[in-house]
Amino acid sequence: MFLGYLLGGLPWGLWIGRAKGVDLTALGSRNIGATNAFRVLGPAWGIAVFVLDAAKGSLAALLPRWLPIGTATLPPLALSLAGGVAAVLGHMLSPWVRFRGGKGVATSLGVFLAIAPIPSLIAFGLWIALFLASGFRVSVGSIGAAAAYPFLVWFFASAGAGRALLTAVSGAIAAFVLIRHRENIRRLLAGVEPPIVKKREGGAR
Residue range 76-88: average pLDDT?
94
Residue range 112-123: average pLDDT?
96
* Model confidence pLDDT, tens digit, residues 143-162: 999 999 999 999 998 777 68
Is pLDDT above 60 for 72?
no
What's the confidence (pLDDT) of residue 204? 40
Beta bridge partners of 48: none
How many domains are contained in the chain?
Answer: 1
Task: Classify the phi-psi angles of 100: left when phi > 0, otherwise alpha if psi is within -120 to 50, otherwise beta.
Answer: beta
What average pLDDT is seen over the chain? 91
What's the confidence (pLDDT) of residue 2? 84
For residue 65, how many other CB atoms are within 10 A of its CB? 13
CA pair distance 148, 88, nearest whole angstrom:
18
* Model confidence pLDDT, tens digit, residues 46-71: 999 999 999 999 999 999 888 765 55
Whether residue 198 is contained in a domain is answered as no
Whether residue 178 is contained in a domain is answered as yes
Whether residue 80 is contained in a domain is answered as yes
The pLDDT confidence band at residue 74, using thresholds 50, 70 and 90, is confident
Is pLDDT above 50 for 203?
no
Whether residue 22 is contained in a domain is answered as yes
Domain ranges, residue 109: 2-190
The pLDDT confidence band at residue 76, using thresholds 50, 70 and 90, is confident
Whether residue 125 is contained in a domain is answered as yes
Residue range 11-40: average pLDDT?
94
Whether residue 204 is contained in a domain is answered as no
Is pLDDT above 80 for 121?
yes
CA pair distance 171, 50, nearest whole angstrom:
22
CA pair distance 139, 194, nearest whole angstrom:
9
What are the DSSP calls for the chain, one per residue? Answer: -HHHHHHHT--HHHHHHHHTT--GGGSTT---SHHHHHHHH-HHHHHHHHHHHHHHHHHHHHHHHHS--S-TTS-HHHHHHHHHHHHHHHHHTBGGGTTB---SHHHHHHHHHHH-HHHHHHHHHHHHHHHHHTTS-HHHHHHHHHHHHHHHHHHHSPPSHHHHHHHHHHHHHHHHHHHHTHHHHHHHHHT-PPPSSPPPSS---
Residue range 96-105: average pLDDT?
91
Instruction: Please give the residue that has the higher pLDDT: either 175 or 69.
Output: 175
Whether residue 205 is contained in a domain is answered as no
Whether residue 132 is contained in a domain is answered as yes
